[in-house]
Structures are given as C-alpha cells and as structure tokens.
Amino acid sequence: MYKIVKKSILFLVLFHILLSEGKTWAQKTLIDVKIDSAAILIGEQTLLHLILTTDRDRNVQLLIPADTLTRGVEVLGVSQPDSSIIENDRLLIKQDLLITSFDSSLYLLPPVKVIDGADTIYSNQVALKVSSFPVNVDAPEEFYDIKQVWKPPFVIADYYPLIFGVLIALFLICVAGYVIQRIRNKKPILSLGKDEPPLPPHEQAIRELDRIRQQKLWQQGRNKEYYTLLTDVLRNYIAERFGINAMEMTTGEILTIIRRENEADSVYENLKQILQLADFVKFAKMNPLPDENDLSLMNAYLFVNQTKQEVLTTSEIEEEETETEKTNRPTLTKE
C-alpha cells in the first residue's frame, strides 16, 4: 500500500512538471520573418514582413536596424507596428521593412532580434538575391547612345516667385522713399485727408498767442514757461517773416537785425521790451508785475500785426494779373 501511494505521488509531480513546461513553451515569444520577393534587380525594392507573437502583458523590444540590414542591403522605410489580440490572449504584432540593394550579390539577411526580459530571441533568416541587368555583349546593336537633355516647356507659373519677389521689392523701395521724403519735409507719414496749406506766418503767430493767453500761465506763477512760449512764438515768426535764423540768435542779435527793417521801426521798442524782460525772467529768475506780463502779450500782438505781410489768395493773384494785362494792352487809334 505504501508503494502504491508513493508511486501515485511521484506520478502527480511528474505530470505537474510536464504541464508547467508545456504551458511555458506555449507562452514563449516568437518572431518570424518573411520576404515578398527573394530575387530583385539592382535598385528594386521589396518588403520584409516581421511577425511577432507574445503574451499580451509581456514587455518585449523589437530591435530593427535604422538604415542597413547588412552590408549592401539598405532599409528605406519602416512601417508603423500593427498589433492585434489573438487566441489564448496572445498579442500579434506585424511590421514591414522596405529594403533595396545596389550591389548584385546573394545576401543571407541577418536574423531580427527581440529582447524579452533577460532573454534574446532571434528570428529565422531569409535570403535575397540581387541581380544586375543582363547585357548581351555579342549584339552591339543593342547599345544606344545617351539621350540629349530635354528642355522643359515654358510655364509662367514657374516664375511666379521671381515675379512676386521683384514686385514686392519695388513696392518696399517706393514705401521707403515715400517715408524718407515725408520725414525730410517734416510731414506726418500717414495722412488721412488732404494736407492743409500752411498758414501765413502772422496768422500762425496770432493763433499761438491766443493759445498762450487762454492758458493763463503767469496767473499761476509759471512766469518762466509763459515768457519761454511767448519768445518762441516771436522768434518763429521773425524767422519766417524776415528770413533769419532767429531761433539760434541772442536777443541783441535779433534786435540789431530788426532795427534795420523799416517795416519794424514803429514796433522795435515793443519787441525790445518783450525780449529783454524775458531774458531777466528766464536767466535772472525775475518776477515781473502783472501789468508787465499783460504789456508783453499786448506788445507781441502789436509787433505781429504791424509787421505782417499780406499774402494774396489765388483769386486775388488772378485778378491782379488780369488788371495788369488790361493796363499793358496797346490801344488802337484811327489814323
């Protein structure tokens, strides 16, 4: 009885070992390689199919050469892996390699490697025969000369980039010239409407004097700012009216030139009062009396009005030319 029990236990242990080994063998990772065409001509291409079978939850790594399978056989491209679940909860992965060769020979392609944990699994090997083009040396009439290079037909669309590039360059040159011209003339670069003709010097000066009067600067204790604006208006007016660089001149230089102008004889003292008092305020920090501030503004108005130069309008110029023509027209007398 003891022998029978011992044999039964030994049989169960052996059966369990065999069952475990069979299960392990059934779950082993497999890699298979197939080729579309085992014989190609130089420069032709063929597909190498990789078929990997493994457990669904197993972490395996397929080692695919990047550019060369073996010396003389190049890898042109690798497809994306296509995976699917098959029976027994196994994972099937398919991937293709596009290969070619430019050397005629018989190649035994190396096996593809798969890393499965600590194990390395190798695929089967396939052969690839690469042949050159057959040449019949006994028939020289089959050799042909190299054909001449064909001249491509003229297509206007081929020159669109060049045409558009030249047009854009010309446009940018015109824009740059326009901007530089506007800057040199001290005009705004962008003008939304028509440019208004500049005001005559005396009208511009009167407008700015009105603005100074409305600001009431000296009433706020801002005497230096008040006289600075006042003298700047007069200096600009003198520069445009008499054609001198009054903005860069001293008070003495301006008065010396204005004294020579017959048109400014009556208002010379008025201008002298403004400029000299302004120098005291700006450089000696003098605080003028309110009457002196009012007098300076009145004298500025008086100087501009007494020395202004009337500008004829277009219609007035045309009327004057017409009157001149009538005056100079010869009269006919009867003999």
pLDDT in tens, the chain (335 residues): 555 545 555 555 555 555 444 444 446 888 899 999 889 999 899 999 999 888 888 888 888 887 888 888 999 988 888 888 888 888 888 989 899 999 889 999 899 888 888 888 888 999 999 998 765 656 555 666 777 888 888 888 888 899 999 999 999 999 998 888 878 776 677 665 555 677 888 899 999 999 999 998 889 989 999 999 999 999 999 998 888 888 889 988 988 888 888 777 788 899 889 999 999 988 988 889 999 989 999 999 999 998 887 654 455 545 655 665 555 555 444 44
Question: What pLDDT is stored for residue 26 in this prediction?
Answer: 47
How would you list the strands of the sheet with 39-41, edge to edge?
A: 39-41, 127-131, 105-108
Q: Kindly state the tokens that stand for 93.
A: 């992965």
Q: Kindly state the tokens that stand for 174.
A: 């015109």
Report the length, in residues, of the chain: 335
Whether residue 149 is contained in a domain is answered as: no
Whether residue 182 is contained in a domain is answered as: no
Domain shared by 125 and 221, yes or no:
no
Q: Give buried/exposed letters for 50-76 (b at 16+ CB in 10 A, else e).
A: bebebeeeeebebeebeeebeeebbbe
Distances (CA, A) of 48 to 43, 45, 65, 109, 209: 16, 10, 12, 10, 94
Do the Cβ atoms of 126 and 107 come closer than 8 Å?
Answer: no
Question: What pLDDT is stored for residue 230 in this prediction?
Answer: 92
Looking at 131, 159, 175, the residue that finishes a domain is 131
Whether residue 265 is contained in a domain is answered as: yes
Question: What pLDDT is stored for residue 5 in this prediction?
Answer: 47
Whether residue 2 is contained in a domain is answered as: no
Question: What pLDDT is stored for residue 24 in this prediction?
Answer: 45
Residue 2 phi, psi (nearest 5): -65, -40
Q: Kindly state the tokens that stand for 3.
A: 């022998």
Task: Note the maximum CA span of the chain.
Answer: 181
Domain shared by 117 and 212, yes or no:
no
Do the Cβ atoms of 275 and 233 come closer than 8 Å?
Answer: no
Do the Cβ atoms of 51 and 31 come closer than 8 Å?
Answer: yes
**Amino acid type, 289:** L
- The reported pTM is 0.40
Do the Cβ atoms of 31 and 114 come closer than 8 Å?
Answer: yes
Domain count along the chain: 2
Cα–Cα–Cα angle for 47, 48, 51, rounded to 5 degrees? 130
Question: What pLDDT is stored for residue 328 in this prediction?
Answer: 56
Tell me the residue range of the domain where 90 lies: 27-131
Whether residue 80 is contained in a domain is answered as: yes
Question: What pLDDT is stored for residue 7 in this prediction?
Answer: 56
Q: Kindly state the tokens that stand for 168.
A: 């854009």
Looking at 75, 97, 131, the residue that finishes a domain is 131
CATH number of the domain at 110, please: 2.60.40.10
Whether residue 211 is contained in a domain is answered as: yes
Residue 21 phi, psi (nearest 5): -65, -40
Question: What pLDDT is stored for residue 244 in this prediction?
Answer: 87
Looking at 90, 106, 131, the residue that finishes a domain is 131
Q: Bridge-partner residues for 128, per DSSP?
A: 107
**Amino acid type, 166:** V
Question: What pLDDT is stored for residue 119 in this prediction?
Answer: 86
Whether residue 227 is contained in a domain is answered as: yes
Q: Bridge-partner residues for 97, per DSSP?
A: 48, 78
Whether residue 18 is contained in a domain is answered as: no
Domain shared by 127 and 220, yes or no:
no
Expressed in percent and rounded to 5, the helix, strand and coil fractions of the chain are 50, 20, 30
